[in-house]
């Protein structure tokens, strides 16, 4: 595997349910990012990990959202008590700190969440 | 707040060269400029990055003038499959978290 993998690709859930998404980054990458994207907009940054440490969280990340990267490898993003406004594409990306001066990162295909 | 400015949309025809210019007036000395391409229902894909002058790869060329306050992505002889959104990025402050604007929606017509 040479790319970032996200699962599931699609998720339909009822309002109020909890959902969890998984991201497997490129194996040698120590940085991992989560984004949310809605139609017609660029990806919006949600949170960032370096190894297992969550170093930055956007104000967009309400207390219903939580992300983990327990062993510095894969990551999960959980949304509790989903709302219709959470419907979006959730993207994961990874990069290496060896490319420190650039914003080069590799993105997964995303998880499309629909809250009904 | 670190910011880049690029046109919201562009139209072109198959076989033409397309140039998309991005302004980044407050770029820091060590920052690289990075461009991404995104097709519908897919994640963005890194296509090219540069620091100054010209960089070329199999997908595109990137021109950055000496003052580095702008950059131009050049797509030679576009085809229908180049229809996508193109994002210009630069690091924001001391962080190298990829930060996206709305990008430029390029539509290539037959």
Per-residue pLDDT of chain A (116 residues; tens, 9 = 90+): 579 999 999 999 999 999 999 999 999 899 999 999 999 999 999 999 999 999 999 987 889 999 999 988 999 999 999 999 999 999 999 998 776 567 889 999 999 999 99
Which DSSP category does A43 fall into?
P
Whole-angstrom distance, CA of residue B53 vs CA of residue B79: 26
DSSP-assigned states of every residue in B28-56 = -TTPPEEEEEE-TTS--EEEEEESSEEEE
Strand, coil or helix: what is B85?
A: strand
Q: For chain A, give percent helix, strand, coil, nearest 5.
A: 5, 50, 45
Which residue on chain B is closest to A36 by alpha carbon? B43
Whole-angstrom distance, CA of residue B2 vs CA of residue B25: 9
Does residue B29 sit at the A interface (CB-CB below 8 Å)? no
Residues of chain A in contact with residue B95, where contact means CB-CB under 8 angstroms, are 56
Tokens of B69: 């306050």
Residues of chain A in contact with residue B85, where contact means CB-CB under 8 angstroms, are 42
| A interface test, pick of B38, B98, B103, B104 with most A CB neighbours within 10 Å | B98
Answer whether A42 sits within 8 Å of B87, measured CB to CB: yes
pLDDT tens digits for range B25-79? 888 888 889 999 999 989 999 999 999 889 999 999 999 999 999 999 999 999 9
Residue linked to tokens 């959730």: A90
The dihedral region occupied by A45, where left means phi > 0, alpha psi between -120 and 50, and beta the remainder, is beta
């Amino acid at each position: 595997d040479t790319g970032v993998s996200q699962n599931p690709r699609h998720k339909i859930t009822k309002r109020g349910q909890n959902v969890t998404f998984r991201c497997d980054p490129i194996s040698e990458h120590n940085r991992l990012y989560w984004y949310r994207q809605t139609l017609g907009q660029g990806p919006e940054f949600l949170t960032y990990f370096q190894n297992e440490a969550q170093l930055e969280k956007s104000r967009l990340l309400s207390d219903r959202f939580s992300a983990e990267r327990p062993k510095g490898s894969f990551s999960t993003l959980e949304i509790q008590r989903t709302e219709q406004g959470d419907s979006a594409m959730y993207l994961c990306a990874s990069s290496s700190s060896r490319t420190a001066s650039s914003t080069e990162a590799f993105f997964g295909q995303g998880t499309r969440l629909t809250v009904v | 707040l670190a910011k880049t400015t690029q046109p919201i949309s562009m139209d072109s025809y198959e076989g033409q060269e397309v140039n998309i210019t991005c302004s980044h007036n407050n770029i820091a000395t060590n920052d690289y400029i990075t461009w991404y391409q995104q097709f519908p229902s897919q994640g963005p894909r890194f296509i090219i990055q540069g620091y100054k002058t010209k960089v070329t790869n199999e997908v595109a060329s990137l021109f950055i003038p000496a003052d580095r306050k702008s950059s131009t992505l050049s797509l030679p002889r576009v085809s229908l499959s180049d229809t996508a959104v193109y994002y210009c990025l630069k690091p924001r402050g001391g962080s190298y978290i990829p930060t996206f604007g709305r990008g430029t929606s390029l539509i290539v017509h037959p």
